[in-house]
Structure 1
C-alpha cells in the first residue's frame, strides 16, 4: 500500500471480520449468467426501472448537440435543448420510425425521413409536412416522448420508470470521487463501442478485478500492481476498489509515462493509484491522476452486449498544443480486445448446463458483490426491491 494517505481512506476498506473474508465467495448458476428468464428480469427490474448513467455532458455542450444510445430493444436520443439536456425515445410519434441513427451530431430540428414530421431540439412537433390531419389532431400532444432525465457530476442519467429508487441515495459516496477528479469539467476526447458475444454481467465482472492482469494484460501488468490493491466499503449502488501504479510510472498507458499534469484536485495519496468505482448496474470508472476512463456495458440479449468506452481529460491539458492521448488509447484498446476474448470464452463455458460455480478468491470480492446486487434486484420474492415484501 502507498505510504501517503488518501482522502478516500476515511471511506474505508471492507471490514476484515466480514463473512467474505472468512469464506471467500462462490459463483452463481448457469441460469443466472446465461438464462433467458434471468435476463428478462434484469431488463425489467434493473434496466427498466432504475436510474441509468448514459453519457457525459461534454458530448452535449452546445444547443442542438445530440447523442444516441440503444438499450435493449429500444433507442434513446439525448439532445441539448433550451432547458438543458433531455432524453427522448428515438422514434417518430407518427408511425414509429427510428429518427436518428448517427451516434453523435448537432441538429436544431429532428426530421423523420418517412413522412417528414419535424421536431425541434426541445422535442416539440413543429410541422407535419405532407401529412393531412384535421380537427381530431392536437400537435401539442404529439411531440417526442420524453424520458426522465437528471444530471449529476457531469453524468446524464435516465430512468424509464416513475418510481425509480432515489438517484442520490444510489450514488452514495460517488460524489467524493467525482469532485476529486473534477469529473463534471472533464472532456471526452475519444469514444469507442465494442460488440461482445457474452452476457453483460461477465463484462462487469471482468472490469472489476485485476487478478487476470498478469496472464491477460502484459502491458497493464507492467505498469500496475494487481496485488497492491484493496476493496472499498461503499453504499448505495456502488462497488469499488483501488490499485497501485508501479514506482517509476505516472500514467496508465502503453508507455507508463506522461507529460500531462495531474488533475488539480486529485489527492496526493492517489497520484499513484487507480480508483476503480462502478455505478451499478453497468458503468465502471477508472480514476487515474491524469485522466479518467469510463466504460459502460449495455445488454442486448442473454449472450450479447455492447461496451462503450470513453476517455476523459482535463480541459487545461486538452488545450495544450502538444496534447496527445495516443498512448492511453493504445493501452486500453488492446486491453479491451483481450478482455472481450476472455468474456466470450467464459460465456461459452458458463453456457454448458453441466458447469457448476467455483470458488471466488479475496481478490474477486467485487465480482461477488455485483452478483449479489443483481440477485437482490431481480429476486421475484421481493419484487425487484431487494427487500422482503
Structure 2
C-alpha cells in the first residue's frame, strides 16, 4: 500500500534540474559527504588490483593491498596531475604517469625520481589524499569526508541485514557498465522512484502498471524502499528454483531501494544489482551499474553455471528496460528546462517516494517551498 492518502506537491523548482547555482549548492551540501557505491568486492580478486572512477569530488582510485581495499584521490601530490588514466589494473605501487612518482599502499611516497632536487623534502613527506571506504553486503562504498554518517545509517538495520545476508554466498559479476546520460541526476533518480511510467514507457517489456494494492512503499532512515509483485515468466521462475537449490531461499518479490542521494539496489533471487548515479554537471550524469550473480558451493559446478546463465538472461532484460528510460529521459530534461511551465508540477501517491527524496534534498540544500517561491530557509 502507499503511505499517503492524497497526491503530494512537487517540492523542487524547475531550475533545480538545470541551474548552475543550484548544482553548486548540491556539490557543497549534498555530494561532499555522500557515499558512492563503486564496485563489488569480488572485483578485487588479486593483491594489487585497482580501479578508477570520477566522482563529483574528483578522480578516485580504489586499490587492494594486503587484503584491504583503500581509496585515494587519483591525483599526484607532485604537480596535481591525474595519477593513472587506466580504468583498472594490478600493480605493487601506484606510479604517476606524468613524472613517475611512486606511492605505497599507505599512500605515502615510495620513490621520487631525482629525489635530491626536492631537498629538503623527506621521502614520505607528501602522499596521496586518502578517502573513506566501507564494504556492506559485498558492495564497496567511497566517501570523501572522514566521519561521514555510515552507509548503514542511511540503510537502516533491516535493509543493511538484507544486503549482508546476500554476501554470505560467493558471487560473480556478470554485467558492468558506465552510461553517460544528458539529463540532470535528479531526473534519473526520480524516474527510478516511481512505477507510474511503467505502463507507458515500458509497456513492451514490463507490461501494465502494477496494481497499487500489490505495491508497498517504505521510508528508511536515509532513503526509501519499493516492494512489488515479482515476475512470473518462465526464466524468473527457473531462477527462483535454482536459487532455492543453491541457497535454500529465493526472493520472489521485486524490491527496489535507494539510499540518498543516489545509491539504488535491487536484490533478486539469483543476485544483486546496484546503480550509482554520478552527477557530472547540472545537465548530465553517469550511471555506474553492476550486476552480481550469486553462486552456491564450489563443487556444484552445473548448478552455478545454470545460475549464471539465467542471471545473464535476466540482465539482458533489464538492460532493455534501462535503455527505454535512457532513450526517453532527455525529453523530460527538455521539459524541465523550458522557460515557461504550465504548472509547478504534481506528485501522485504512486510517485510519493519522489516527494520524500525531494524533501530530503531540500532540507540538505536549505531551501523551502511556499505558495509562490522557493527561497532560503
TM-score (norm. length: structure 2): 0.86
Which of 339, 354, 358 lines up with 1:367 in the alignment?
354
Structure-2 change in CA distance of 1:233 and 1:125 (3 Å):
same
Offset of residue 73 of structure 1: 6.0
Tell me, yes or no, if the aligned pair for 1:187 and 1:315 is still in contact at 8 Å.
yes
The answer to whether the Cα contact below 8 Å between 1:182 and 1:265 also exists between their aligned partners in 2 is no
CA RMSD, Structure 1 to Structure 2 (Å): 2.9
Q: Is structure 2 residue 181 aligned with structure 1 residue 196?
A: yes
Q: List runs of 5+ in structure 1 lacking aligned partners.
A: 1-12, 382-387
Go from structure 1 to structure 2 and tell me whether the alpha carbon gap of 1:304 and 1:350 turns closer, same or farther (over 3 Å shift).
Answer: same
Give 1:30 deviation, angstroms: 1.1
Of 228-237 and 178-187, the range deviating more from structure 2: 178-187
Residues 196 and 62 (structure 1 numbering): CA distance in 2 closer, same or farther, change over 3 Å?
same
How many corresponding residue pairs? 361
SS at 2:195 equivalent: coil
| Residue number among 211, 218, 230 corresponding to 1:245 in the alignment | 230
Aligned in 2, Cα 1:317/1:203: closer, same or farther, shift over 3 Å?
farther
| 1:5 paired residue number | none
Equivalent-residue separation in structure 2 for 1:120 and 1:345 (angstroms): 47
Change (3 A) 1:153 1:372: same
Provide the residue aligned with 2:331 in structure 1: 345
What secondary structure does 2:86 align onto?
Answer: coil
In structure 2, distance between residues paired with 1:368 and 1:175: 23
Aligned pairs (5 A) from 1:126-275: 126-172=110-156, 173-182=158-167, 185-222=170-207, 225=210, 227=212, 229-249=214-234, 251=236, 258=239, 261-262=242-243, 270-271=251-252, 273-275=253-255
Residue 134 of structure 1, CA deviation: 4.6
**161-170 or 224-233: bigger deviation:** 224-233
| Residue 184 to residue 352, structure 1, CA distance change in 2 (3 Å) | farther
Change in 2 beyond 3 A, CA 1:313/1:242: same
Q: Is the 8 A contact 2:226 2:256 kept in 1?
A: yes
| Residues 243 and 274, structure 1, Cα contact 8 Å, conserved in 2 | yes
Measured against aligned partners, the alpha-carbon deviations of 1:7-56 in whole angstroms (never above 9, x if no partner) come to xxxxxx665xxxx3234343531122222222111111121123333322
How much has 1:169 moved relative to structure 2?
A: 2.1
Instruction: Determine the structure 2 residue equivalent to 1:63.
Output: 47
SS at match of 2:131: strand
* Contact 1:181–1:265 (8 Å) recurs in 2: no
1:313-340 CA deviation, whole Å, 9 max, x = no partner? 1122995345324422321222222111
- Could you tell me whether the CA contact under 8 Å between 2:264 and 2:275 is conserved in 1? yes
Partner of 1:290: 270
In the alignment, the residues of structure 2 paired with residue 307 and residue 184 of structure 1 have an alpha-carbon distance, to the nearest angstrom, of 26
Question: Which 10-residue stretch deviates more, 193-202 or 358-367?
Answer: 358-367
